[in-house]
Structure 1
Amino acid sequence: MDSHAMGASPHLDSGTLEVIVPDGEAAVRWASHGYPSALARWHYHPQIEIHLIREGSGQLMAGDGLMPFEAGHVALIGSNLPHNWLSDVIPGERLRHRDVLCHVRPQTIRMLMAAFPETYGFEQVMRRSAHALVLSGDAAREAGDLLVAMGDHDPARRVADLVAILSVFEHAPAGESRTVVAPEYNPAVAAGAEQGINAAISYISDHLDDVNLPDAAAAASMSVSTFSRFFKRVAGIGFADFVRRLRIGRACRLLTCTDMPVSKIQRMSGYDNASNFNRRFRAETGMTPSAYRRLHAAR
């Protein structure tokens, strides 16, 4: 997930709001980090965030939306919108250079628009960011390159980089720009939910081969029925569907990054029955595990 900028110190207030310490000398805050990381958690903050995933694949959680990501994914997350990037990783694996991001307050962008009418199109970008705006294709590559380069630039140059990145979002073709969160989503539904969601995610990630609903509910300090309703309301997806996506994501990672037998990958992904594993895998990917491995081995 995201991080504080270089030289800043984030504080997590009971797992709810990430406070990014203001820097009087810079309005644009840049950072990078790996995964897993204590900073990679479901949370929100007042700043808008532009975020690049440089390696790995997984699921973006934003508001009530869930979408798969791969390396090169670029997203613009609006102010106070809860978010998290969950990577498909082999147990014990670390992605050392997964995340590159910057933070800027929405008020700063609006002051920029007031001073420079040429940037009036950024208002639409800001509105769409409230629903997690994600780029793909050439637009993602261009924005991602700008975001990486920002890390080597001085504060004044970073302002120019920010304008350039927002311009990419503004002019991205319709086929390379989409939102993740439902139009009717209200961020207030997530207020105070971070501790429970993060406890559940931590449990699921640590026990993906043997997840069960009662233990997930216990991790979140809730009854099973309360937790089920809570998870669906806040995460926008049912608990069982969420677990299935993460399990198939792990299977995909193991199939492409190891030479383990499919039967062992099946068990490590939480499936005791081969036919059930094959059925779930095909439903998510459109092919069998063996076909998926052959396809990616040929690339």
Structure 2
Amino acid sequence: MDARDAGMIPYSDAGSLEVIVPDGDAAIRWSSHGYPSALARWHYHPQIEIHLIREGSGQLMAGDGLMPFEAGHVAMIGSNLPHNWLSDIIPGERLAHRDVLCHVRPQTLRLLASAFPETAGFEQVVRRASHALVLSGNSAHEAGGLLETMGEHDAARRVADLIAILTVFQQAPADEVRTVVTPGYNPQVAFGVEDDVNVAIAYISSHLDTVTLSDAAEAASMSVSTFSRFFKRVAGIGFADFVRRLRVGRACRLLTCTDLPIARIQRMSGYDNASNFNRRFRDETGMTPSQYRRAHAS
């Protein structure tokens, strides 16, 4: 599915601002796509987004926050908050059904609250979504199911689905809902630099086994010091930490989805030294690679 098929048309003069064209007779836009996809990039849009990951694992980038996700992950992304989901995939792999999402304008929810005072509590949910609101546990399972079945319903039924999903977010227990972005984050730090971020992410992802800071800086046409500061400021995480998380994520995927020897997985994940690989892997997962493979054996 390309951007036009999904009703999301990138505006060429606005970096990675995504202009989401709603159906003419509907306020809610529902869509789905796989990964990799032209739609899966660091971007932002005025609409509030509710997003389900159906398959795979990886890292959610939202504002200056970074958190791991697995299948069943559900998040609400606030208006104009830059975001992206990076999956841990084997080179050449495609996740055909990874993403399900819907978009709705903040104005629509304000109108809803003005017409139905019973929904006034959604206002706090929307405020928290400005820092990326993520569900877990039973709340994620319930909201994800509602979001997925929304695609089977007509426009009128989708309004009921949206209210039900927002209710799940509103009523989620404290231990099943969290925000990702730091309280003081200003999304304007990312405005106008989205293309640079996407170039850097694309280069890092496609050269994950060999990438260095100087390589990434050169790909982004910056000096090493400028790129290092830029990446930390916009992504909220240092280059080395970001690469380590992606490399360990790739190793986890290879350990669970292939029978490749651990020594080869180590090299494919960008580690020449076994002890360094084991140490970094344990730091991220709490287990050695061999323990991880045994724990996730089907």
TM-score of the superposition, structure 1-length normalised?
Answer: 0.97
Q: Is the 8 A contact 1:16 1:195 kept in 2?
A: yes
SS in 2 for 1:32: strand
Helix, strand or coil: the match of 2:46? coil
Q: Name the aligned partner's letter for residue 37 of structure 1.
A: S
The alpha-carbon deviation at position 258 of structure 1 amounts to 0.3
The alpha-carbon deviation at position 7 of structure 1 amounts to 5.7
**Gapped runs of 5+ residues in structure 2?**
none
Equivalent-residue separation in structure 2 for 1:63 and 1:203 (angstroms): 20
Q: Does 1:145 align with 2:145?
A: yes
Root-mean-square deviation (Å): 1.4
Q: Which residue number corresponds to residue 178 of structure 1?
A: 178
Farther-moved stretch of structure 1 (218-227 vs 50-59): 218-227
Q: Does 1:257 align with 2:232?
A: no
What displacement does 1:5 show?
Answer: 8.7
Structure 1 residues 58, 7: closer, same or farther in 2, change over 3 A? closer
Structure 2: how far apart are the matches of 1:18 and 1:254? 33
Residue 8 of structure 1, CA deviation: 1.8
Secondary structure at 2:296 match in 1: helix
- 2 CA distance for matches of 1:3 and 1:106? 25
- Give 1:12 shift: 3.9
- Name the aligned partner's letter for residue 85 of structure 1: W
The unaligned stretches of length 5 or more in structure 1 are none
Indicate if the aligned counterparts of 1:5 and 1:31 stay in contact, CA closer than 8 A. Answer: no
2:91 paired residue number: 91
What CA deviation, in whole Å up to 9, does each residue of 1:82-110 have, x standing for no partner? Answer: 00000000000000000000000000001
SS state at 1:60 partner: strand
How far apart, CA to CA, are the structure 1 residues paired with 2:67 and 2:217? 24
State the partner residue of 1:104.
104
Number of matched residues? 297
Distance across 1 between alignment mates of 2:123 and 2:2: 25
Using the alignment, how far apart are the partners of 2:177 and 2:141 within structure 1?
Answer: 12
Cα distance change, pair 40–3 in 1 and its aligned pair in 2 (3 A): farther
Corresponding residue for residue 168 of structure 2: 168
Greater CA drift, 17-26 or 177-186: 17-26
CA distance in 1, matches of 2:97, 2:6: 18
In the other structure, the counterpart of 2:131 is 131
Is 1:282–2:282 an aligned residue pair?
yes
Partner of 2:47: 47
2:90 touches 2:253 (CA, 8 Å); kept in 1?
A: yes
Q: Deviations 1:208-263 (Å, cap 9, x if unpaired)? A: 00001111111111111110000000000000000000000000000000000000
1:20 aligns to what?
20
Q: What does residue range 210-229 of structure 1 map to in structure 2 within 5 Å?
A: 210-229=210-229
What is the alpha-carbon distance in structure 2 between the residues aligned to residue 3 and residue 123 of structure 1? 33
